[in-house]
A and B are shown apart, each in its own frame.
Chain A
Amino acid sequence: MKGWDKFFALASGLCVLIIFAFLFWIIFIIARNGAGTISWEFFTAAPVEGMTEGGIFPAIYGTVFLVLVMTVFLMPFGVMAGIYLAEYAPQNSRLTQAIRLAVNNLAGVPSIVFGLFGVGFFIQYAGRGLDRTLGLETVFSQPCLLWAAATLAILNLPVVIKTSEEAIKAVPLEHREAAFALGATKLKMIVRVVLPQAFSGILTGAILSVSRGAGEVAPILFTGAAYYLPYIPKLPTDQFMELGYHIFVLSTQSPDVDKTQPLLYGTILVLLLLTLALNTFAIGLRVRMRRKYGR
């Protein structure tokens, strides 16, 4: 028995080691090959010469814009759904179970399917409808940032719903009871007691989605991301360049693979740092919230 114990401890430790080795290997290669590319110009210039030179500013800008619009779509719906499931839905009822199952299944749908759904639903159905009603030519019925953001939002809904629901449910019953006993209505109890305490949990969901949204390519492929744009998008109805897609383009569509490679690594490094910064920011906020609430 003792031998097996030792073996198991070693084996599980080894697995962790292997995973870490992979992670560091990836980061090391990217940092080594990409660090040389990073410069002021790389951040501020647009790609030139068939994307074999220049910078990635439009892609950074597009990514940030995309993720912001996505958050605007995502958070109200996701948090409201989380509130409903945690606070209002009759727990243990068949319908609620079915809704939870649907949310879980939504999380399992491959992202390319969301991309196609975005084309069908947002561009061809909602977009066309909007254009027709507003008497416009082709504004909404084409791939654009708005629909890409909406598609990404749907992709990320399950995460936000689930993290919100869990964060809300984690608020102790004693605090709810205390609020009710002081004459709070359910709405006031939720707004003043539950949401402030659930905030850091909800925020985690939001940031997880943002850092995931910044890297997902499949959902935006047909719904708004551009291969190359000579201008910076101004309106949500414009197309946009995006870091993840730009990486795909650089690595597969370049006319001169060798010349593009430093750019490619540089772009990957930027995307990596962006997500890392976002996650660090989220963790920092969470720690601050926790401290504020003394937990």
Chain B
Amino acid sequence: MEDKGINPWVSTEYSQPEYVRMIENIHALNENLIVRVEDFSLFYGDKPALKRINLSIKKNRVTAIIGPSGCGKSTLLRAFNRMNDLIPNVRIEGRILIDGEDICKKDTDLVALRRKVGMVFQKPNPFPMSIYENVAFGLKIAGEKDRARLDQLVEKSLRQAALWDEAGDILDRSALTLSGGQQQRLCLARALVIEPEIILMDEPASALDPISTAKLEALIYSLKKDYTIVIVTHNMQQAARVADYTAFLLLGELVEYDETRKIFTNPTDKRTEDYITGRFG
């Protein structure tokens, strides 16, 4: 919490909205919430893709976003690291707070944001470089040149991503020679190396075989002590297996958001029940 050494209740230096925000920050910290989405809407041109979403994401937990194809899961996920900025004619309303900071502002430092909020994509997308260069990429673009430190951090991330045993002695090989599952873990290592707080995963296992998927899920589970993970998935068993909390989106609306157990055993909303029992989508 940025402490200006002034009690916000008595200081006259703060405007009304600033008080409100500070109080909210205090709440956020108390509840260990790292992300707060507030009345967030997103439009592709005139077409709404997300409609007044409200949700908070807990630190060091895995949160799953589920819902039928086209309901806006990827769009919501990509709002957390402002990847939607790459698409022309996107308009947003509302705000998203990460660590109490509104990331939707025009002057948000996108480089800093994206180093704090890492991402693993649906399709494994390693760069056509060596395994080592892939992992070191995030460090190198940040200006890290110390070879020993690079080596050390690359190894650490590869271990975290459970890839060191397989790739530790072929670091100079092209990343494209790895299998799909290995490539996806490489992409995870690449995201981990810059030590983000949050990791976004957009259907990270959809291109993988069952064994690779199981490995990745085990990995996700082990990572949550250090990271906050938000995962989009089509696969409801997967959500049930890995996620502590689950959000169900439908046609751009957040229908239900609760503990995963509750969502899958005793959903409040009829539409959630229909979806998880496979009645549509």
Contacts and interface: CB of A to CB of B under 8 A. Distances in A.
Interface of A: 172, 174-185, 188, 192-193, 196-197, 292-295
Given A197-B128, A293-B176, A294-B128, A182 B123 contact: no
A180 B137 CA distance: 11
Contacts of A295: 128, 176
Interface stretch (B47-55, B58-66, B186-194, B258-266): B186-194
Given A174-B125, A293-B128, A293-B176, A181 B137 contact: no
A179 B187 CA distance: 11
Given A188-B141, A294-B176, A183 B111 contact: yes
A177 B115 contact: no
Nearest to B114: A183
Contacts, number: 70
B128 A180 contact: no
Nearest to A174: B125
Interface string B70-89: 00000000000101001000
5 contacts: A181-B121, A182-B141, A183-B114, A183-B142, A293-B174
User: Most chain-B Cβ atoms within 10 A of its Cβ — which of A175, A180, A182, A192?
Assistant: A182
Contacts of A174: 121, 123, 125
B121 A184 contact: no
B96 to A, nearest CB: 16
A179 B137 contact: yes
| Consensus secondary structure, chain A interface | helix
User: Most chain-A Cβ atoms within 10 A of its Cβ — which of B86, B125, B126, B140?
Assistant: B125
A181 B81 contact: yes
Contacts of A179: 127, 137, 141
Interface residues on B, range: 20 to 34
A177 B191 CA distance: 12
A240 B265 CA distance: 86
Nearest to A182: B138
A271 B29 CA distance: 75
Contact of A294 (B83, B114, B177): B177
Given A175-B125, A181-B83, A181-B121, 7 more contacts: A177-B86, A179-B127, A179-B137, A181-B114, A183-B141, A196-B129, A294-B177
B154 interface: no
A182 B191 CA distance: 7
Contact of A177 (B110, B121, B129, B142): B121
Nearest to A173: B86
A181 B141 contact: no
Nearest to A291: B174
A292 B127 contact: no
Contacts of B187: 178
User: Most chain-A Cβ atoms within 10 A of its Cβ — which of B83, B111, B190?
Assistant: B111
B34 to A, nearest CB: 18
A-B pairs, top 4 by smallest CB distance, nearest first, are: A174-B125, A293-B128, A294-B176, A183-B115
A196 B127 CA distance: 10
B118 A181 contact: yes
Contacts of A293: 128-129, 174, 176
B148 interface: no
Contact of A185 (B111, B118, B140): B111
Nearest to B176: A294
A192 B141 contact: yes
B115 A178 contact: no
A240 B194 CA distance: 56
Given A180-B86, A181-B118, A182-B190, A294 B174 contact: yes
A175 B137 CA distance: 12
A222 to B, nearest CB: 46
